[in-house]
Amino acid sequence: MNAHDRNLGMGRAITRRDFLNGVSLTVVGSVLAPELFRAAQPEFAPERALDYYPPTRTGMRGSHDGSFEVAHRLRDRPQRDLSGAIGTGEIYDLVIVGGGLSGLSAAYYFIRDAGRNAKVLILDNHDDFGGHAKRNEFQYNGRMLALNGGTLNIESWDRYNEHARKVIHDIGIDIDRFLATNEKNRALYRSLGLTGQATFFDKETWGVDKLMIRRTAGGRGGGARYAADDLMHTPLSAQAQRDLIRLYGGPHHEYFPGLSSAEKKIRLATMSYQDFLLNIVKVDKQVVWFFRNQGAGNFCVGVDCFPALFAWQEGLPGFSGMDLEPSPNGLLADLPGGHHGRQIGPGGGPTVHFPDGNATIARLLVRWLIPDAVPGTSMEDVGAAHINYALLDRSGQAARVRLNSTVVHVAHDGDVSKAKEVVTSYVRGGKTYRVRSRATVMACWNMFIPYLVPDLPSAQKAALAFGVKGPLVYTSVAVKSWTAFQKLGVSSVNAPTMYHTGVSLAEAVSLGDLHHPQTPEEPIVLHMTRYPMSPGKPRKEQHRVGRADLLSATFDTFERKIRDQLARNLGDGGFDPARDIIAIAVNRWPHGYAYTYNPLYDPMEWVYTSTDDRPCVKARQPFGLITMANSDAAASPHTDAAMLEAHRAVQEVLQRRAMPLLG
């Protein structure tokens, strides 16, 4: 190991095990829960092992090794021989493909309406349930720390649709109580003086590493409110310094004289914010560096793919002289399905982050479905609840969740118009199984459904394949203290051109016994985000390149980049990666956000209207006994959309079941 790696702590003993499916198989007899020991089968059953607890796994998480290989083989060789598939003998009322928030909600809607005598099976390829809504859990000195490994928050609670609100309510979430309990936490970082805004100029881009901290609050977009005196100490050219001040301070011109507000909006909708800054406001290109990742939170690509109109709606600078008429609810809320950013503007409502993000929703949904698998009775006690994964898949319960199971084929038993059953085949532990059901809900990813349901009409297959999901990474780094942040007086550092776009302290929230640390000497989890973008390429191509990047990068690469970045971003505050890092979980999501329509690439009416011409509408049509849920079906990156589509898909199933009764 070279001296640099040694200084970064590359050899340090952190938990970094990359668990593979089946690792527990060889030990299944020795560490089974005692009550299950006698029932043990010589079969693949890792979930029954006492030490099976995916939330505490570290290393590469998200699309972890073992979760995607079967699907990728099917993609590369779609003609799968199913003749050897083992019939399980099970017959369900409903099989659900995908155990994310959409799939779990579909099970909830179905059992709520059909009763607890119904039989539902959820199949998911990951080792944990929740889909994107997963949790990273760490133990340090007897203390539990947790952070979301994916889905971050209930964005814009007041805009949640009625069906999603019903789920949230019925599983025991009380948003008002949660917000009231966390009122003090919300002021925590401010009360400790962590009010500065930090931007890191990296030497690979600027020739020198420089952390700039500005104390003036307010303004969006990273470059806001720098005083001229501060800017003199940055690596920015004199022209860029002047342009940055002009961009934020004005005067701003009417850049499109003679056009109505509506006409101006159309022009802004079809031009990227990068083009607006460079060609309309005419700032130096160094200024654009501050905004490089703008739009990544919406589309998983940067400012070159971010419509200027969205930038205006999100409060970015440059538009103040243009007299654009505000949309009553905020433009991003009005778009079908909503776009990230819809919380900005009137009526956005609170954004609600549980310590593990929307994994809390997944855990509470599983408690509603299988009460004894998730001990406790309240929203608060789910925070630190230890899930019994061995109880997720037992006969005799209304809902069963079968993890580590990749669905490879879904077909009607007979002619689609007359069939009474669907046969769903899945691979688990290297063997192919098949189950029967009276209906199947596809709560997985649109682009993969054509491979799973080859009998679909070709136009529907094309619509399903239209979107490309946005790739991204949420990395969780457990550290022994956050004194470096206190010393710097910041709660986050923005690093536009580094491997991760920045680092921030976990949002200060507690849930029951999952307490947020109150002093900087206590351990905490840091959150880092990576968007594998390739600016300049078309959006979908960027997604494909980024996905390949995520699937090929090793944990070793990530670990070195993370340690290096934290050393450089937080070094002025005394952070030492070799000493301070406890554990790292890299949650890579090669298939992350649903593909949402973007006026730079897609027809305007797909973005701004609910037209049935949108591919997501054509894609989500029921096919006999097979219906489509998941957030792709709404072309929306939101949890409430995932739930809405689950509700629709289940209603379609129930209506079809009721048809014979109605004559």
Ligand X SMILES: Cc1cc2nc3c(=O)[nH]c(=O)nc-3n(C[C@H](O)[C@H](O)[C@H](O)COP(=O)(O)OP(=O)(O)OC[C@H]3O[C@@H](n4cnc5c(N)ncnc54)[C@H](O)[C@@H]3O)c2cc1C
Q: Judged by CB under 6 A, does residue 577 bind ligand X?
A: no
> x-or-dash pattern for ligand X, window 439-458, by CB under 6 A?
----xxx--x---x------
> x-or-dash pattern for ligand X, window 53-82, by CB under 6 A?
------------------x-----------
Residue 277 CA to residue 286 CA, distance in Å, equals: 11
Least Å from the CB of residue 67 to ligand X: 7
Q: Quote the tokens at residue 73.
A: 């083989």
- Could you give the residue ranges of the DSSP H alpha helices within 9-68? 34-37
Q: Which of residues 253-292 bind ligand X (CB under 6 A)?
A: none
Among 523, 630, 635, 652, binds ligand X (CB under 6 A): 630
Asked if residues 318 and 93 have their Cβ atoms less than 8 Å apart, the reply is no
Q: Judged by CB under 6 A, does residue 433 bind ligand X?
A: no
Residue 291 CA to residue 281 CA, distance in Å, equals: 14
* Residue 231 or 653 with smaller CB distance to ligand X: 653
Asked if residues 357 and 133 have their Cβ atoms less than 8 Å apart, the reply is yes
Least Å from the CB of residue 546 to ligand X: 13
Among 55, 100, 467, 599, binds ligand X (CB under 6 A): 100
Q: Judged by CB under 6 A, does residue 348 bind ligand X?
A: no
* Residue 265 or 412 with smaller CB distance to ligand X: 412
Residue 524 CA to residue 522 CA, distance in Å, equals: 7
Least Å from the CB of residue 410 to ligand X: 9
Q: Judged by CB under 6 A, does residue 102 bind ligand X?
A: yes
Residue 403 CA to residue 392 CA, distance in Å, equals: 9
Residue 533 CA to residue 471 CA, distance in Å, equals: 9
Least Å from the CB of residue 473 to ligand X: 8
Return the C-alpha torsion angle 519, 377, 139, 125, nearest 10. -130
* Residue 296 or 311 with smaller CB distance to ligand X: 296
SS3 call for 210: strand
Handedness of CA 566, 567, 572, 574 (dihedral sign): positive
> x-or-dash pattern for ligand X, window 119-158, by CB under 6 A?
----xxxx----xxx----------------xxxx-x---
Least Å from the CB of residue 438 to ligand X: 19
Among 631, 647, 650, 653, binds ligand X (CB under 6 A): 631
Q: Judged by CB under 6 A, does residue 400 bind ligand X?
A: no
Asked if residues 626 and 497 have their Cβ atoms less than 8 Å apart, the reply is no
Tokens 């949002």 -> residue: 507
Q: Which of residues 473-502 bind ligand X (CB under 6 A)?
A: 474
Among 303, 472, 619, 628, binds ligand X (CB under 6 A): 472
Q: How many CB atoms lie within 10 A of CB 113?
A: 13
Least Å from the CB of residue 268 to ligand X: 26
* Residue 98 or 624 with smaller CB distance to ligand X: 98
* Residue 96 or 188 with smaller CB distance to ligand X: 96
Q: Residue 187 class from Cβ within 10 Å (0-12 exposed, 13-18 middle, 19+ buried)?
A: exposed
Asked if residues 455 and 419 have their Cβ atoms less than 8 Å apart, the reply is no
Cis-peptide, bond into residue 251, ω within 30° of zero: yes
Footprint of ligand X on this chain (CB under 6 A)?
Answer: 71, 97-103, 123-126, 131-133, 150-153, 155, 406-407, 443-445, 448, 452, 472, 474, 589, 592-593, 630-631, 637-639, 642
